[in-house]
Amino acid sequence: MQKKSHKSIRTVVIGSPAAGTATVFSLLDVLSSVGRDWEYLHGVEPGEAVVFEPSLRTANGAPYWDINGRKITPDAAFHEDPAPDLVIVPDIHVDFSGPLPPDLLEAADWIAETHAGGALTTSVCSGALVLGASGVLDGNDATTHWGVADTLANRHRSVRVRRERVLVPAGEGHRVVTAGGASAWSDLLLYLIARLAGLEAARRIAKVWLLTTHDEGQLTYASLTAGRQHDDKLVADAQAFAANCYMDATPVAGMVARSGLSERGFLRRFRRATGQSPAEYVQTVRVEEAKQLLETTDAPIDDIAEEVGYSEPSSFRAAFRRNVGISASVYRRKWRSLSPAAVH
């Protein structure tokens, strides 16, 4: 069946030896199916519609081995025609404490050019670091995987990192869109399809591919990583103390006493090293421990609250929802559902 299209969205997915296989090809496959697979399933001849023309491009267009050891052959090099209407940077797997690899810095330069030329510029997961390097995130809100949110914030101080969000359209005309963790490619694509091809097209793709959105945000998936990558031994000692004594009634007072500093001096030094106050850090540790207990035990929630250091269950429930985005009971149901015993 020949598709009659009145508009094509020329789309480039950025390839790289640092890119993950699944996200790259999920992006290519799902976009290629817009205006095609629903019609095939229903025996309907494709009519006029907005469709996507996705391609995989790299700096030189040469084959490469990706992060998972798969040999990948791109469709073209960055500067080959046609110029893109839409650019998507997938998740990248690099040493986040160091600079981006040269090929991703080259991608960032090209992205800056295409964005200036009018392209809609997007990223999935840690791919936001490439957008950060390109400058298109400057002064905007953005999201990325919760595990690299601090890296993005520290490297690009003008970017307002929304670690709790799964999807963040930003900038003039919302021409920059960032998505959270790697599986948030589905949130990004459903948004882009609805925006560029229409809501009905997005609904059809969601039904064909059994896709859904992460409406609860990212916090329910996050684990404690903030504040661990620093060189302040005094603060690291205080963090180790908190890890062992978070259930005490006054752990922050213990951290201050152990440091030998004044309370004000310790608070200032701790926040400078970790980005959190000591009280916030202790609360994060307590919530992390509670999450583990909710996932792995059947203990009543009030008992868990007491075990992790909350004398008032209501205080624990409020802190849990504030940090995780959902209630403790909903969190338990969500993660216990992964147990083989829960599958019928």
Burial-class residue 23 by CB neighbours within 10 Å (0-12, 13-18, 19+).
buried
Q: Which residue is listed with tokens 């640092």?
A: 18
For residue 144, the model assigns a pLDDT of 94
- pLDDT-based confidence at 344, cuts 50/70/90? very low
% the chain with pLDDT above 70: 91
Give pLDDT tens digits for 144-189. 998 898 899 989 999 998 887 888 999 889 999 999 888 899 999 9
% the chain with pLDDT above 90: 58
For residue 174, the model assigns a pLDDT of 93
* Distance separating alpha carbons of residues 188 and 33, to the nearest angstrom: 15
* Distance separating alpha carbons of residues 184 and 20, to the nearest angstrom: 13
Give pLDDT tens digits for 97-117. 899 999 999 999 999 999 999
Q: What is the 3-state secondary structure (H, E, C) of 40-54?
A: HHHCCCCCCCEEEEE
For residue 343, the model assigns a pLDDT of 45
- pLDDT-based confidence at 222, cuts 50/70/90? low
Q: Which residue has the higher pLDDT, 112 or 199?
A: 112
- pLDDT-based confidence at 337, cuts 50/70/90? low
Packing angle of the helix pair 251-259, 263-274 (nearest 10 deg): 100
Give pLDDT tens digits for 244-289. 888 888 999 999 999 999 999 999 999 888 878 999 888 888 888 8
- Cβ distance 3 to 46 under 8 Å? yes
Q: Quote the mean pLDDT of the chain.
A: 88
- Cβ distance 187 to 212 under 8 Å? no
